[in-house]
Structure 1
Amino acid sequence: MTSDVPFRPLPVELVDVRYELGPDSRRRPDVPAGETVEVSLTDSAVYPGTTRTVWIHVPAAYDPAHPAGLLVFQDGWWYLDPDGDVRGGIVLDNLVHVGAIPPTIGVFVDPGVLQDRPDPAARKNRNTEYDAADDRYVTFLLTEVIPEVRRRYAVTDDPARWGIVGGSSGGNCAFTAAWHRPDRFRRVFGFLSSFAQMPGGNPYPAALATEPGKPLRVFLQAGHRDLGWDRPERNWLAENLRVAAALAEAGYDFRFVLGDGGHNPNHAGVLLPDALRWAWRDAAPSGPTADPPSDPLSDPGTDPTTDGAHR
């Protein structure tokens, strides 16, 4: 199906750009707000000494007789905040309500904090958790976070209905979690991922080229003026391009959107609704209440653009 893209002039300056949120990222008067439950985790077996907050957001259409899908967000409140750049809970409420995606519970996980450290900067465990290439973080999710969700709500065992989202270091964290446990997470969303700062370097271009294919569907976004965009090393833009190229060469089901702007979650928030539509395009229920796609990225037959079509 052909889709017409409205004309938008390209900005001359690539850094000072903000994308406008679409209707799926705004509270609608006809869509009932979901329930958000806050959970405090006061210790961890995987990351001893850490505490954190987790928010579980359940759209109003959830029916315990029909187990829901699961979508885990890193940097929890930043992605849940109804007045923030991403507004993940509002997006889930809107898309589930109109049948654009199957009923899906959002799990918004804050990074761990080491409360016993006297230096406030040393209390943050975010980079330890998110930038590592091993399976510790996904093990933490599966053994410590998701059991808290399943104690309260019915969640499907179908890994095709489990997704994981992150931006910056949370983006490579999401990819790493699904890479190690594709038996659980098969939908991956990485925004401005910090592959460039993973200890030991970005492992995924080589791994994608040499390891057997995994049953993943991957959505990536990068920015023309992300960190280090014109440097030979620690170049966020270049490392995202390398991962996208490796996914293409390995034949993965993936989408890649290159936008303008710097290292901030604004473009991620604009893209999230259509990224979710694309990821669950073959699982979404149909019905007379389903809204039409908000723009061409919603159509799985339309290639993502790099010319500012979502401006």
Structure 2
Amino acid sequence: FSRVHSTIGSFTGLQWLPEEHVDGGYILSNLVRREPKRNIRVWMSDGLNDIEVDSNGRQDLYVAGSWPLNNIQMANALKTRGYDFHFRYGVATHSSAQGSMDLPESLSWLWRGYDPEKTDENYEQEEVERSKPIFRVQIANRDAW
């Protein structure tokens, strides 16, 4: 495959089974940073209201990690490695609403420049994205010190 469409990506420790030497999705952003760059184009979207469960919520989700933070970490890994990617970060929850709203734009973006006569295509990060800083997190629900 050469194009990836990810909405509310579960780059968390959901399937993490250390006793069986099985890594969870949280390792993927680190693999993007460490492994050789692949020739793919990636559209990601997530929202600040995605799953962030406290200790009173479902224990299996609480221990898995933060969906918003892990999506930001994946976007930063793609950015720093020079991938052709787009990250839409809105206010969405863990539902298909934002991904559905973005679908026409995301498919147009992923398939831009497609030529059925070509047998291959080289994906490079756009200059507009290259000139932007990496994503940063701002704590909005705590009192400032």
CA contact (8 A) 2:2 2:40 kept: yes
Gap runs ≥5 in structure 2: 17-22, 55-61, 117-125, 130-145
The residue type equivalent to 2:97 in the other structure is N
Name the CA distance, whole Å, in 1 between partners of 2:50 and 2:128: 25
Equivalences, count: 105
Gap runs ≥5 in structure 1: 1-184, 286-299, 304-311
Name the CA distance, whole Å, in 2 between partners of 1:258 and 1:214: 23
Which residue of the partner structure matches residue 140 of structure 2?
Answer: none
CA shift at 1:284, angstroms?
6.2
Name the CA distance, whole Å, in 1 between partners of 2:87 and 2:107: 13
Residue 268, structure 1, aligned to residue 99, structure 2: yes
Which residue of the partner structure matches residue 19 of structure 2?
Answer: none
Residue 220, structure 1, aligned to residue 44, structure 2: yes
CA shift at 1:210, angstroms?
1.1
Which residue of the partner structure matches residue 191 of structure 1?
Answer: 7
CA contact (8 A) 2:51 2:68 kept: yes
The residue type equivalent to 1:225 in the other structure is N
1:166-245 aligned within 5 A: 185-196=1-12, 197-199=14-16, 200-201=23-24, 202-228=26-52, 234-245=65-76
CA contact (8 A) 2:46 2:89 kept: yes
CA shift at 1:301, angstroms?
8.2
Secondary structure in 1 aligned to 2:49?
coil
CA shift at 1:302, angstroms?
7.1
RMSD value, Cα: 2.5
CA shift at 1:198, angstroms?
3.6
Secondary structure in 2 aligned to 1:264?
coil
**C-alpha offsets along residues 191-221 of structure 1, whole Å, 9 cap, x if unaligned?**
0011112423312121111111101100000
CA contact (8 A) 1:229 1:238 kept: no
**C-alpha offsets along residues 163-218 of structure 1, whole Å, 9 cap, x if unaligned?**
xxxxxxxxxxxxxxxxxxxxxx1100000011112423312121111111101100
Name the CA distance, whole Å, in 1 between partners of 2:107 and 2:96: 16
TM-score by length of 2: 0.64
Which residue of the partner structure matches residue 118 of structure 1?
Answer: none
Name the CA distance, whole Å, in 2 between partners of 1:195 and 1:266: 19
Name the CA distance, whole Å, in 1 between partners of 2:10 and 2:73: 12
The residue type equivalent to 1:188 in the other structure is V
**C-alpha offsets along residues 132-187 of structure 1, whole Å, 9 cap, x if unaligned?**
xxxxxxxxxxxxxxxxxxxxxxxxxxxxxxxxxxxxxxxxxxxxxxxxxxxxx110
TM-score by length of 1: 0.31
The residue type equivalent to 2:2 in the other structure is R
CA shift at 1:259, angstroms?
1.0
Residue 281, structure 1, aligned to residue 105, structure 2: no
Name the CA distance, whole Å, in 2 between partners of 1:194 and 1:233: 9
CA contact (8 A) 1:192 1:223 kept: yes
Name the CA distance, whole Å, in 2 between partners of 1:261 and 1:209: 27
Residue 248, structure 1, aligned to residue 54, structure 2: no
Which is greater in Rg? 1
Name the CA distance, whole Å, in 2 between partners of 1:229 and 1:191: 19
Alpha-carbon spacing, 1:212–1:301, altered in 2? closer, same or farther (3 Å):
closer
Secondary structure in 1 aligned to 2:36?
coil
Name the CA distance, whole Å, in 2 between partners of 1:284 and 1:207: 30
CA contact (8 A) 2:46 2:92 kept: no
Shift >6 Å, 4+ stretches = 229-232, 300-303
